Amino acid sequence: GGGGGGGLPPGRLGLPLLGETLQLVSAYKTEQPEPFVDERVRGGHRVFTTHLFGEATVFSADPEVNRQVLLGEGRLFESSYPTSISTLLGRRSLLLMRGALHRRMHALLSSTIASPTVIRHSLLPDIDRLIRRTLDSWEEEDEEDHPAPSSGTARRVLLQDQAKKITFELTVKQLMSVEPGEWTEGLRREYLRLIEGFFSIPIPFSFTTYGRALQARTKVAEAVRSVVRERKREMGIRKSSDESSTGSSSR
């Protein structure tokens, strides 16, 4: 292939429309997706142009370039996502917000989730409790699988998967005050389907990975909205109860 036009770094644009999306998706589905980048860096270009998800894309494997991009965010550079990924994230996603609105939302989340008080009294106790709960579940499952004295057969635990599960449960607990259970596990399954769509060919048919990701996004959004509606209903009931109590006591 040839280099990109318009002052873009050297690279290959691949097939018409598809570009090199198939190569990236194939690499992503292996245990080591790095070869997609390594193969192109070996040509002597640590910054190269490719074509992914319908758009020209610049990859950087140069630490100094990456540092300059991060330092220049909002001034010299503006982060963006391919249209297919932006659609999955949703136009109100924090990742897609820009300027003052992004700073305001980031500050709001930091003050409510990442404040020292929340970390000390809520986040750390939840982390400890969820890790202990997960470890206990391994022991219970092992006893169910091997009720007789152990014969030396150990159950395999995939730590990365378990760590992702704990992280998801912690996030749901912190953001929505929902304890782990059947509801959160169902939500996590839909979330995983959504994530799979980020690195897939963006064909929005129901039988494709991307189409299933779009359906999962709808289910995740509705699940979150249902929690918000229930919280509002509970707050309304509580407010009415408080007003009734105040009115009774003032008579």
Give a yes or no: residue 233 inside a domain. Answer: yes
Domain check: are 8 and 124 in the same one?
no
User: What pLDDT was estimated at residue 234?
Assistant: 86
Q: What is the pLDDT of residues 151-166, one digit of tens each?
A: 556 678 888 899 999 9
What residues make up the domain containing 245? 118-144+157-249
Of the candidates 194, 218, 215, 196, which has an alpha carbon nearest to the alpha carbon of residue 206? 215
Q: Which of 79, 107, 130 is the last residue of a domain?
A: 79
Q: How many domains does the structure of the chain reveal?
A: 2
pTM, 2 dp: 0.75
Q: Is residue 241 part of a domain?
A: yes
**Model confidence band, residue 53 (pLDDT cutoffs 50, 70, 90):** confident
- 62 and 124 fall within a common domain: no
The reply to whether 126 and 240 lie within a common domain is yes
pLDDT, mean of residues 187-203: 93
Q: What is the mean pLDDT of the chain?
A: 84
Gap between the Cα atoms of 198 and 191, Å rounded: 11
Q: Is there a domain that residue 137 lies in?
A: yes
Does residue 95 lie within any of the structural domains?
no
Residues 185 and 244 in one domain: yes
Residues 132 and 65 in one domain: no
Q: Is the pLDDT of residue 149 over 70?
A: no
Do both 162 and 72 map to the same domain?
no
Instruction: Kindly state whether residues 123 and 226 are assigned to the same domain.
Output: yes
Instruction: Provide Rg for the chain, Cα atoms.
Output: 24
Backbone angles phi, psi at 34, to 5 degrees: -60, -30
User: Is the residue at 138 inside a domain?
Assistant: yes
Q: Per-residue pLDDT for 19 more than 60?
A: yes
**Are 122 and 205 found together in one domain?**
yes
Residue 136 in domain: yes
150 lies in some domain: no
123 and 26 housed in the same domain: no
Is 123 found in the same domain as 51? no
Six token digits for residue 247: 């009115």
Residue 197 belongs to a domain: yes
More confident residue, 141 or 228: 228
